[in-house]
């Protein structure tokens, strides 16, 4: 079955033997547990839309391996058109869910490993690319959700992996034999991993000879023996046990991140795609990061569309939609959001083929996309708070809204325009509050790498020497430093 629907996806999760802990207890059923259910629902949208005739062109692609129609989240980009469709798809799903739908990291990991394993084989005469293509076929034919697993805990950031007091602070190879390898360590901030079928492990930094044991790329089932997930707290996550206070009750906020521990996990050789080839770790990191930074002008633009819509609704409910300063603020939000989107489209349209045949984004523009997100989303959120008013931060709980002694007062004193139900005003306010809260903003800042990581890549990709030569030519000088 190449294309699961939402229910088939949820049923496939029920069959996993996941070891997930949250709030001091083990979650036995991630599909229906209040903490994880919204994230499952959001990821399920990526399966449901693949069966929507109006979304099929963006949501599906044809596999170059099998010539069958597959979910686009499992495809390999074969043209700039594929890169552009990816961005348009992400914005569309962001508009439908108002949150992270979690399949992007694995999508980007698949495409980064596709090209890097090809180049490794070409130079080293290894068989990684052939193995990877077999794995990719398995993912496509079963329409599996893959969690891209790159970020390590890192410990002391001033030290290289092999210099850490605890060698497990970067995931590493601990043993290998004729059947496969054993890995130990952890992966942090793992978006959507508790509702994924597979984790695709990659190194998190460029590595030297002394760090060769950390140069590991492999695929591990999320419920493999020795794998344990500790679900992360989110801002106001206790509200997930209610409805109104949660804001986005069906799809949640951000992506349901977890810390994933691997205690001497066995990986058979047919699932190993790098094992000690440290010189390729940096290329894999940079390629993955560029693909992932491309995304943010798509998914974040879709989510920001909902934020803008929420602010505009509250302006109407507050009776100020016609004020010139409100229209001007909405215009600024739209301008910032479309700037994010067009930069993602630009880095896609400027893409180019790799030796493996898949297409890679323009890395300079991809890093500019993410750098813009670290600023523009904050400004969009700030303006939305300005438009909405202070009541989004001081609303009573939904329990008070439903309590017989307090409900009437809340209905009376939290009403805006008389034609709008107070509960509707509160529901939109809670949506905006939760979408613009701490966790969502932190993900915009640090997801796909901290702002400094993009600035390093922007300077590296900018070709300053070429720009200096342009200046020399126009100035008529021949000397240089």
| Residues designated as active site | 100, 104, 191, 257, 292, 296, 299, 443
Q: How far apart are CA 256 and CA 222, in angstroms?
A: 15
Q: How far apart are CA 440 and CA 426, in angstroms?
A: 20
Q: How far apart are CA 216 and CA 273, in angstroms?
A: 8
Q: How far apart are CA 365 and CA 398, in angstroms?
A: 44
Residues near 256 by Cβ (< 8 Å), separated by ≥ 6?
Answer: 35, 36, 38, 39, 100, 102, 191, 192, 194, 195, 231, 232
Cβ(457)–Cβ(435) below 8 Å: no
What are phi and psi for residue 346, nearest 5 degrees? -65, -45
Q: Could you tell me the two tokens for 51?
A: 């069966």
Q: Could you tell me the two tokens for 286?
A: 């940079």
Q: How far apart are CA 440 and CA 255, in angstroms?
A: 9
CA 241 to each of CA 34, 41, 229, 307: distance values in angstroms, whole numbers, following the listed order: 6, 15, 21, 23
Q: How far apart are CA 392 and CA 441, in angstroms?
A: 17
**SS3 per-residue string spanning 12-43:** HHHCCCCCEEECCEEECCCCCCCCCHHHHHHH
- The closest alpha carbon to 107, from 419, 378, 384, 448, belongs to 448
Q: Could you tell me the two tokens for 272?
A: 């190993």
Residue 73 sits at the vertex; the CA angle it makes with 436 and 295, to the nearest 5 degrees, is 40
Q: How far apart are CA 61 and CA 78, in angstroms?
A: 10
DSSP code at position 395:
P
Cβ(147)–Cβ(191) below 8 Å: yes
CA atoms within 13 A on the CB side of 278: 13
Q: How far apart are CA 270 and CA 135, in angstroms?
A: 8
Cβ(147)–Cβ(193) below 8 Å: yes
What are phi and psi for residue 114, nearest 5 degrees? -55, -45
Q: How far apart are CA 399 and CA 241, in angstroms?
A: 11
């Amino acid at each position: 079955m190449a294309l699961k629907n939402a229910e088939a996806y949820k049923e496939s999760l029920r069959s996993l033997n996941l070891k997930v802990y949250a709030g001091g207890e083990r979650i036995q059923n991630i599909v229906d547990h209040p903490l994880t259910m919204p994230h499952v629902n959001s990821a399920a949208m990526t399966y449901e839309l693949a069966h929507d005739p109006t979304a099929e062109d963006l949501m599906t692609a044809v596999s170059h391996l099998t010539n069958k129609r597959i979910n686009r989240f499992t495809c390999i980009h074969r043209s700039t058109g594929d890169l552009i469709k990816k961005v348009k798809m992400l914005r569309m799903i962001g508009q439908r869910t108002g949150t992270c739908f979690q399949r992007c990291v694995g999508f980007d990991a698949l495409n980064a490993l596709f090209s890097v394993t090809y180049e490794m084989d070409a130079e080293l005469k290894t068989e990684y690319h052939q193995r990877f293509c077999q794995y990719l076929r398995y993912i496509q034919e079963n329409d599996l959700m893959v969690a891209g697993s790159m970020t390590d805990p890192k410990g002391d950031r001033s030290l290289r992996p092999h210099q850490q007091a605890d060698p497990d602070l970067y995931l590493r190879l601990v043993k290998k034999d004729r059947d496969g390898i054993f890995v130990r360590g952890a992966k942090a901030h793992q978006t959507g991993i508790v509702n994924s079928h597979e984790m695709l492990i990659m190194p998190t930094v460029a590595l030297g000879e002394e760090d060769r044991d950390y140069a590991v790329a492999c695929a591990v089932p999320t419920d493999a023996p020795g794998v344990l997930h500790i679900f992360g707290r989110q801002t106001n996550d206790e509200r997930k046990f209610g409805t109104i206070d949660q804001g986005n009750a069906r799809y949640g906020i951000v992506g349901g991140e977890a810390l994933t521990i691997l205690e001497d996990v066995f990986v058979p050789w047919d699932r190993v795609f790098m094992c000690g080839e440290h010189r390729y770790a940096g290329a894999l990191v940079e390629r993955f990061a560029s693909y992932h930074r491309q995304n943010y002008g798509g998914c974040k633009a879709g989510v920001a569309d909902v934020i803008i819509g929420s602010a505009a609704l509250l302006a109407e409910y507050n009776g100020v939609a016609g004020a010139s300063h409100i229209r001007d603020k909405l215009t600024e939000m739209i301008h910032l959001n479309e700037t994010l989107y067009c930069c993602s489209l630009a880095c896609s349209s400027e893409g180019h083929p790799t030796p493996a045949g898949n297409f890679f984004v323009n890395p300079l523009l991809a890093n500019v996309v993410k750098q813009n997100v670290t600023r523009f989303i904050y400004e969009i959120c700030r303006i939305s708070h300005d438009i909405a008013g202070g009541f989004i931060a001081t609303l009573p709980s939904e329990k008070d809204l439903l309590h017989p002694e307090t409900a009437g007062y809340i209905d009376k004193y939290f009403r805006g325009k008389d034609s709008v139900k107070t509960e509707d005003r509160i529901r939109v306010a809670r949506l905006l509050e939760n979408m613009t809260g701490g966790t969502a903003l932190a993900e915009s800042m640090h997801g796909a790498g901290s702002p400094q990581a993009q600035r390093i890549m922007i300077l590296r990709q900018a070709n300053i020497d070429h720009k200096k030569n342009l200046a020399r030519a126009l100035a008529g000088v021949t000397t240089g430093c």
